[in-house]
Structure 1
Amino acid sequence: MTTNNNIEKRNPADSDFEILYEDNHLLGIVKPVNIPTQGDASSDPDLLSLLKEDIKERYQKPGNVYLGLVHRLDRPVGGAMIFAKTSKAASRLSEAVRSRNFDKTYLAIVHGTPAKRQGRLTNTLLKNERTNTVSVVPKGTPGGKEAILDYEVIGTAASDNLTLIKVTLLTGRPHQIRVQFSHIGCPLYGDQKYGQAFNKPGQQIALWSLYVGFPHPVTKEQTQLISLPPEEAPWSLWNRQTYRELSRQL
């Protein structure tokens, strides 16, 4: 098994990003919050372009640099993320995603507490491309896609009415975690789009990519990336040992 704890990093100090894993085929990094994964209508600098430039500078590569986008994180979300450095790796990882052999675990802090301490949420989601919003719709709605996740309550901060939840995605729909928890009355802390009544402008959404696991596209070894959330509110309501224990269980 390959993890981000024993990979030999090449020139990590020269990178503008925290590198979790790197070899000739893959690049795993900690996505900073509030950067779009790829170019969008905002025209703000996007992660894919910034990483290509980072690789180009670190390895003094002439011409264009290939970097394949395998999965996405919403703009306000940070944490572990993997990219493919070759088209073959991109193709094989994309197949792992399609065959659900690509594991993604998140941490979320929500308002309130779900009725059950652990369970599965299954909904049909429909995206409005014009407004870039997603809603829960009846099964069978044209354009609707099934969204499934498993969750487990890790702890509560009763004085703040906040709950720390571990989320395992079984599908990868846009805004999936945010929409499904809002639908059960537990919107994410800081989510202005799906929890406006609970949150204040300027709050950072509390959703973090803790773990990404998949078979390496070349060696086939199980590869794991782990990134703990930042040591700041509201994550600091729980101690670092809580997050370390969660990462060790994955």
Structure 2
Amino acid sequence: MKPEILFEDNHLLVINKKAGELAQGDETGDASLIDTLKEFIKKRDKKPGNVYLGLIHRLDRPTSGILMFAKTSKALTRMNEIFKGRDVQKTYWAIVEKKPEKEFERLEHYLKKNPKNNKTTVYTSPTKDAKIAILEYKLKGHLDNYSLVEVDLFTGRSHQIRAQLSFMGHAIKGDLKYGAKRSNPDGSISLHARKISFGHPVTKEIVEITAPPPNEPIWKECLKFED
């Protein structure tokens, strides 16, 4: 497997994850990107020993787009601090059912995840064990049956975009878990981690990365809505 590398230096590795790829090992026992990327780097760089690679953030398996890894423990610690301090700007593209009534909206909800069914419930007011979730979405364009929205994420809750957009009546295309009418043929959901901007953990320079969307007709059509 040759990954689609979007950015790499001595400290970081950023790839464009394909929908269906597993970021790190889980109960399925399927091969994870951590393992396959370590093997890729080991062979490419002819490294005799073990390769260090730390996952900086998560991306749901059926989701595509930017996924970041640290190549040193120091970089991982610093990136974790950057993410914890919310000094990261993350933008997603989502193809959703129906056309939002508003061109722009800020959503603030409270989310609680049920580990038994791996599903997040949305509440409109503070609820026991629920965490505040904030995002803003902007309508980019409308297709025949779907709309493209751009989402800026201000909190990183589990299934946050999927749950909040579904709660507003705009399930993400293919996301059966959160109310989509039908599945996508490949089992993906039409949610793509499109852009990220952050201060480099070592050089402190601002790094901005954009991930091309999946090579599919509907995503290609959405590119016409890019600013």
1:222 shift after superposition: 0.2
TM-score under structure 1 normalisation? 0.86
> How many residues are paired up?
226
* Equivalent position SS for 1:199: coil
Deviations 1:95-114 (A, max 9, x none): 11111101110000100122
Q: Which residue of 2 aligns with 1:58?
A: 44
2:182 to 168, 185, 199: 199
Q: Compute the RMSD of aligned alpha carbons.
A: 1.5
Q: Which residue of 1 aligns with 2:131?
A: 145
Separation in structure 1 between the aligned mates of residue 162 and residue 134 of structure 2, nearest angstrom: 12
TM-score under structure 2 normalisation? 0.94
1:201 shift after superposition: 6.0
Deviations 1:38-87 (A, max 9, x none): 11111111111111111111112223211111111100111122211111
CA contact under 8 A between 1:126 and 1:135: conserved in structure 2?
yes
Deviations 1:162-184 (A, max 9, x none): 11000010011111100000001
Please tell me the residue identity of whatever aligns with 2:208.
Q
1:138 shift after superposition: 5.0
Q: Which residue of 2 aligns with 1:10?
A: none
1:144 shift after superposition: 0.9
**2:107 aligned with 1:121, yes or no?**
yes
1:155 to 130, 141, 161: 141
CA contact under 8 A between 1:107 and 1:207: conserved in structure 2?
yes
Among all aligned residue pairs of Structure 1 and Structure 2, give the percentage whose two residues are the same amino acid. Answer: 45
Q: Which residue of 2 aligns with 1:82?
A: 68
* Equivalent position SS for 1:90: helix
> 1:1-12 alignment to 2 at 5 Å?
none
* Equivalent position SS for 2:96: strand
1:231 shift after superposition: 3.4
Note the residue ranges of structure 2 that are not aligned, 5 or more in a row.
Answer: none
Q: Which residue of 2 aligns with 1:208?
A: 192
Q: Which residue of 2 aligns with 1:222?
A: 206
**2:91 aligned with 1:91, yes or no?**
no
CA contact under 8 A between 2:173 and 2:184: conserved in structure 1?
no
1:224 shift after superposition: 1.3
1:241 shift after superposition: 4.3
* Equivalent position SS for 2:177: coil
Q: Which residue of 2 aligns with 1:30?
A: 16
